[in-house]
Amino acid sequence: MTSLNGAEQIALEVNNLQVTYYTDAGRVKAVDGVDLTLKAGERLGLVGESGCGKSTLALALMRMIKPPGRIEAGSAIIHTDMGDIDLLKLNEEEMRQARLSKISYIPQGAMNSLNPVMRIGKQMIDAMRSHVPRASERELVERAEQALESVELKRSVFRMYPHELSGGMKQRVCIAIGILLSPKVIIADEPTSALDVVVQRQVMETICRVQEKIRAAVILIGHDMGLMAQITNRVAVMYAGKLVELSTAREMFTNPLHPYAQALIRSLPNLDNKGIFQGIPGLAPSLLRLPSGCVFHPRCEHAMDICKSAPPPRAVTPTGRFVSCHLYDEQGNRVHPTASRREPVAAQ
Amino acid sequence: MAPLLELRNVSKIYSQGLLSREQTIALDNMSLVIDDTTPSIIAVAGESGSGKTTMSMLALGFIEPTRGEVLYKGRNVAKLGREEHLLFRREVQAVFQDPFAVFNPFYTIDHLLTVPIDKFKLARSKREARQMMEESLSAVGLRPEEILGRFPHQLSGGQRQRISVARALLLKPKLLVADEPVSMVDASLRATILESLQKLKKDYGISILYITHDLTTAYHISDQIVVLYRGAVMEAGDVDTVIKTPKHPYTRLLIDSIPWPDINLRWGSSDIQAREGDFGSAKGCRFAARCPFVMGRCRESQPPLFKLEPTRAASCFLYDESPRLENEDVSSLFIYK
């Protein structure tokens, strides 16, 4: 793991991002006021249960939200050498140019995202062609083959079809495409969820290596906290469209602040707690009928009266951790020490 | 100790092509006994292509072995009579991987649960059937009033997977074959499903064949483990012994690749690397091409199982000083607690 050194460049700044889906049943705030800052070369993990809005957040940054979804407000600024770009203010053509060259996306199911009737090389060249129209064919081929090599694939993969590759190899092809134009930000949406452990480790290590090489910031989306502990620098936890905690990986795994993050960490199997299963009681709320006050209060073991009525404050500790919970004041100090830790509720 | 389900020297070979028979050995001379008297959870672990799903299909009687026999209570599963076959179908149940694909979206959960009750004539009246459904749903930690009458799409993956378990439970099975039951479920919901599987063993005396690529969950719920690689047993024995002190280089690679949710247990503490597309030589050890400790003899003959400890055996020449263990005797390593 590389440590982040002093004078850090900010790669991406997301402010107050809001995405709403207008469904027949009503308005759904899938992403509700999320703020994030990513430094160049940093790996941020974004975790949460299915339906918490983590993929929507990624799609919003790629500007790939389709109706009935809409980005309602916010900004997503990428800092480049040529100045700052607000992704959410670009027009369609500018955004098309920005994808892959400024921000790229490694999708969830690699097996489904490659064109089955097109050779790998052709797909890679296609992707570059629209960004660098004046480059010669030979130059593009060279670049594609180099990208394949950088993810530890043979140059011969260039001439293969997707069905000739294994799942792990296809996922690495997707990574190679993602880094073709050295983007500032790479979003990897559960890049290894369909792979088994050995291949998963290989793919993740590949992502880390190429990302460090091009100094890109990575947002790793997933629900596997184990993976987050292994490779991220910071972890953000989302719940029902809101960011509930953002801490360094070390702080998150040793001393999580938010009760949801605590429950999430506690539910993880590790070597010492064999046979003890601590699920998180209850279910994620429907975004159509969010609970009042703090959205987590019906499942929270520390829930107080105020949690039912008022949304929690957004606290930032002096060390830069973000937490949104009534247990903490605006500086992140624990203000309700009396709320003692109940025995974990048995999973229902 | 009477065997409930027994795989006796089972091989499964898939062949392709009409003239040039291209053969894939999915499972090679595998033996395993699941005991009748003490319920236990046996994990079968391995990466894709290790033959673990072939094994679950064999255990469920969906496919027939090319060589060897699958025995249920001493009778060959492929040769069961009509009545016996029905009993086998009832007593050996399955939970599959994908909770989104196993349900017919047009039917409510009630329908899904009534089908087995009708088929096996488990209830005499509608009220009794309803009561049975409610009981089995409660047993897996679901609230019947929240589930019955709903359609599959109204439920979460975790709920659906628990309904699968409840459906199996309705039939009071002796053995449950669970093929990757938690791999498609949110990590935060996995605990609840594993807990209901554990409960089946404890409260209902059901043995479970837990097929998985995830050694973390295998460690947590099972008593014994069998690690497969390309159709053969690499290491087998007591789950604590195998996971905490893996001996076979392949098991070490697997365990080393587990992303433990612990900031102090980092990957990369070992230098074993995964390589792809290596299918090894036809004769030697299957793992030779990827093994960091490979020796000359590994490429010449397949290592037999060596019994390292009373509760563990590994198929690797590194341990050739230990006594040999015949394939058929793998289950002698299992102690029933």
Segment A201-215, tens digit of pLDDT: 888 888 898 899 889
Contact in structure between B187 and B158 (CB atoms under 8 Å): no
Least Cα distance to A145 among A167, A106, A119 occurs for A119
The residue-averaged pLDDT of A173-190 equals 91
Chain B nearest-CA distance from A137, in A, is 30
| Higher local confidence (pLDDT), A332 or A32 | A32
In the stretch 28-67 of chain A, residues with CB closer than 8 A to chain B read: 49-50
Contact in structure between B55 and B238 (CB atoms under 8 Å): no
What is the C-alpha R_g of chain A? 21
The confidence band for B270, taking pLDDT boundaries of 50, 70 and 90, is: low
Question: What residue of B is the nearest CA neighbor of A52?
Answer: B186
Q: Which residues of A touch B48 (CB under 8 A)?
A: 167, 196
Q: Which residues of A65-86 are buried (b: 16+ CB within 10 A; e: fewer)?
A: beeebebbebebbbbeeeeebe
Contact B259 A201 (CB under 8 A): yes
Own/partner long-range contacts of B297-306 (Cβ < 8 Å, ≥24 apart): B302/B232, B305/B233, B305/B236, B305/B330
The confidence band for A2, taking pLDDT boundaries of 50, 70 and 90, is: very low
Contact B260 A226 (CB under 8 A): yes
Q: Which residues of A touch B265 (CB under 8 A)?
A: 271
Contact B191 A278 (CB under 8 A): yes
Q: Which residues of B257-285 are buried (b: 16+ CB within 10 A; e: fewer)?
A: bbbbbbbeeebeeeebebebeeebeeebb
DSSP state of A178: H
| Higher local confidence (pLDDT), A268 or B236 | B236
Asked whether residue A287 carries a pLDDT value surpassing 50, the answer given is yes
Contact B262 A253 (CB under 8 A): yes
Chain B nearest-CA distance from A47, in A, is 10
Which residue in A49, A226, A278 is closest to B186 by CB distance? A49
Angle, helix A167-179 to helix A120-129, in steps of 10 degrees: 20
Contact in structure between B211 and B180 (CB atoms under 8 Å): yes
Sheet containing strand A43-47, edge to edge, reads A103-106, A185-189, A217-222, A43-47, A234-239, A242-248, A322-323, A315-316
Q: Please tell me the least confidently modeled range out of A49-63, A152-166, B53-67, B260-274.
A: B260-274
Q: Which residues of B touch A167 (CB under 8 A)?
A: 48
CA B333 to chain centre: 17
Q: Please tell me the least confidently modeled range out of A71-85, A223-237, B18-32.
A: B18-32
Which residue in B195, B259, B260 is closest to A277 by CB distance? B195
| Mutation target among B263, B272, B275, B287 for the A interface, most CBs of A within 10 A | B263
3-state secondary structure A54-90: HHHHHHHHCCCCCCCEEEEEEEEEEEECCEEEEHHHC
Residue A237 touches partner B, C-beta closer than 8 Å: no
**E strands along chain B, which residues?**
3-16, 22-35, 41-45, 67-72, 75-76, 92-95, 175-179, 207-212, 224-229, 232-238, 305-309, 312-314, 324-325
Contact in structure between A57 and A31 (CB atoms under 8 Å): yes
3-state secondary structure B293-327: CCCHHHHCCCCCEEEEECCEEECCHHHCCCCEECH
Asked whether residue B337 carries a pLDDT value surpassing 90, the answer given is no
The residue-averaged pLDDT of A292-302 equals 89
Q: What is the pLDDT of residue A46?
A: 94
Question: What residue of B is the nearest CA neighbor of A190?
Answer: B186
Burial (CB count <10 Å: 0-12, 13-18, 19+), residue A183: buried
Phi first, then psi, for residue B7 (nearest 5°) are -100, 120
Which residues are CB-contacts of A202 (< 8 A; sequence separation ≥ 6)?
A168, B273, B274
Residue A182 touches partner B, C-beta closer than 8 Å: no
Asked whether residue B207 carries a pLDDT value surpassing 90, the answer given is yes
Contact A277 B189 (CB under 8 A): no
Least Cα distance to A176 among A39, A168, B275, A232 occurs for A168
Contact B195 A249 (CB under 8 A): no
The residue-averaged pLDDT of A190-208 equals 82
DSSP state of B34: E
Q: What is the pLDDT of residue A6?
A: 43
Which residue in B219, B263, B277 is closest to A253 by CB distance? B263
DSSP state of A334: B
Chain B nearest-CA distance from A213, in A, is 19
State the Cα–Cα distance between residues B61 and B153, nearest whole angstrom: 30
Q: Which residues of B touch A284 (CB under 8 A)?
A: 156
Residue whose token pair is 């990624």 = A58
Asked whether residue B272 carries a pLDDT value surpassing 70, the answer given is no
User: What percentage of chain A reaches a pLDDT higher than 70?
Assistant: 93
Q: What is the pLDDT of residue A278?
A: 76
Angle, helix A197-214 to helix A167-179, in steps of 10 degrees: 10
Residue A118 touches partner B, C-beta closer than 8 Å: no
Contact in structure between B228 and B47 (CB atoms under 8 Å): no
* pLDDT 10s digits, B278-324: 454 467 888 888 888 888 888 888 899 999 989 999 999 999 899 99
Q: What is the pLDDT of residue A1?
A: 42
Chain A nearest-CA distance from B238, in A, is 14
Contact B191 A205 (CB under 8 A): no
pTM of the predicted model as reported, rounded to 2 decimal places: 0.82
* pLDDT 10s digits, A328-339: 888 878 876 554
Helix (H) or strand (E) holding A38: strand A26-39
Contact A267 B219 (CB under 8 A): no
Mean of the per-residue pLDDT values of chain B: 86
Contact B191 A253 (CB under 8 A): no
Joined tokens for residue A335: 């203000």
Q: What is the pLDDT of residue B19?
A: 67
What amino acid is encoded at B60 in this protein?
A: L
Chain B nearest-CA distance from A135, in A, is 33
Q: Which residues of B touch A265 (CB under 8 A)?
A: 261
Distances in Å between the Cα of A308 and the Cα atoms of A54, A223, A302, A333, A341 are 25, 27, 12, 21, 19
Question: What residue of B is the nearest CA neighbor of A49?
Answer: B186
Q: What is the pLDDT of residue B315?
A: 92
Asked whether residue B20 carries a pLDDT value surpassing 90, the answer given is no
Chain A nearest-CA distance from B56, in A, is 18
What amino acid is encoded at B39 in this protein?
A: P
* pLDDT 10s digits, A138-155: 999 999 999 998 888 888
Q: What is the pLDDT of residue A347?
A: 39
User: What percentage of chain B reaches a pLDDT higher than 70?
Assistant: 93
CA atoms within 13 A of residue A210's CA, in its CB half-sphere: 29
State the Cα–Cα distance between residues B291 and B275, nearest whole angstrom: 10
State the Cα–Cα distance between residues A108 and A50, nearest whole angstrom: 13
Contact B214 A168 (CB under 8 A): no
The confidence band for B72, taking pLDDT boundaries of 50, 70 and 90, is: very high
The residue-averaged pLDDT of A111-129 equals 90
The residue-averaged pLDDT of B69-77 equals 91
Q: What is the pLDDT of residue A4?
A: 46
Chain B nearest-CA distance from A320, in A, is 19
Q: What is the pLDDT of residue A150?
A: 86
Q: Say what the ipTM of the complex is.
A: 0.75
